[in-house]
Structure 1
Amino acid sequence: MSQATRDAILQQVRQTLEARLALSDQIPQLAEDVCRILERTVPWYDWVGIYLVEGDELVLAAWSGPAATEHVRIPIGQGICGAAAREGQTIIVPDVRQDPRYLQCFLSTRSEIVVPIRQDEDVIGEIDIDSDELAAFDEKDRALLEWLASELAERLPHHRASAA
């Protein structure tokens, strides 16, 4: 796939996400819709999940893909997801088979990107995306997903306040 085609797909998905974000802040429906939009619109996104921090764990809040993951609770610091939450930084792994932190979910997964959802200095969740392609994620994926994480961070306090 050409870089121009990839760029056009990411631009279109951002417009779709902007339209969805404008509709409602209701979690978990918003999280479910975001996962579905990403997984169904971006061909190299094969599994998309959103985890929220609960205590010292990441808890799967929503996902979209061909199958469920067994990793519905991940201790902070464990695996690539746990490392991204602990470090508060986006992690892109071009080849999961070369990263000892990788917690295998699917035999087909070749690369992963994990983007923390942050409020100020606190990580409150993350976006986790697996791809069946090696080196599937680049800086444009990072930019899109970091923008999305920022948008979600603005909406998550409403969820937390209403859940109390």
Structure 2
Amino acid sequence: MTLQELKPAVTAIVEQTEKTVNQRLLEVCALLEHRVPYYNWVGFYFKNGDKNELKLGPYVGEPTDHVIIPFGKGICGQVAISNKNFVVPDVSAQDNYIACSITVKAEIVVPIFVNNQNIGQIDIDSNTADPFTDMDERFLEFVCKKAASIL
């Protein structure tokens, strides 16, 4: 299944108003992790109230100790400040990378905006080196817009 073909499934999940926001976001994570072979950990981080830190939201994949990430730390923390997508083809080449697992080779993080404010992000780890393309970025921007519509 291509990323383009996943868009209707993401939309259908988000529109399930009988489910909580967290249930829907978790289903999106599960869909992406299950259907995209090189998406090995899929999760959402959100700004933690008024603090300059991110708090882990729904995710699918190996458990992580990184429940709270200060702004500026790691790839997620950098996106919280830059408000820009961050694609890391090789995590071992990044100085400010927070290792979640020794199997992770690449990471992509795309911010979520609500009313022009960066309120969180989707974070995807891959056990494949350099798997992410512009198509992944555009697809994940779509996913973030859909997530923003229910936040």
Where on the TM-score scale, by shorter chain, does this alignment land: which range?
over 0.9
Residue 26 (structure 1) shift: 2.4
User: Percent identity over the alignment?
Assistant: 37
**Runs (4+) off by over 4 Å:** none
SS in 2 for 1:23: coil
Match of 1:33 among 18, 23, 27: 27
Cross-structure match for 2:6: 13
Structure 1-normalised TM-score? 0.86
Residue 12 (structure 1) shift: 2.3
Task: Provide the rounded CA distance (Å) in 1 between the counterparts of 2:127 and 2:35.
Answer: 15
Task: Provide the rounded CA distance (Å) in 1 between the counterparts of 2:2 and 2:116.
Answer: 31
Task: Extract unaligned runs of 5+ from structure 1.
Answer: 1-7, 157-164
Task: Provide the rounded CA distance (Å) in 1 between the counterparts of 2:13 and 2:21.
Answer: 13
Match of 1:114 among 91, 109, 116: 109
Whether contact under 8 Å (1:13, 1:42) holds in the other structure is: no
- Over aligned residues, Cα RMSD in angstroms? 1.2
Q: Which has the higher contact order (CA 8 A, sep 6+)?
A: 2
SS in 1 for 2:87: strand
Task: Extract unaligned runs of 5+ from structure 2.
Answer: none
Taking the TM superposition and a 5 Å limit, the aligned residue runs for 1:1-164 are 8-24=1-17, 26-54=20-48, 55-65=51-61, 67-156=62-151
Decide which structure has greater helix share.
1
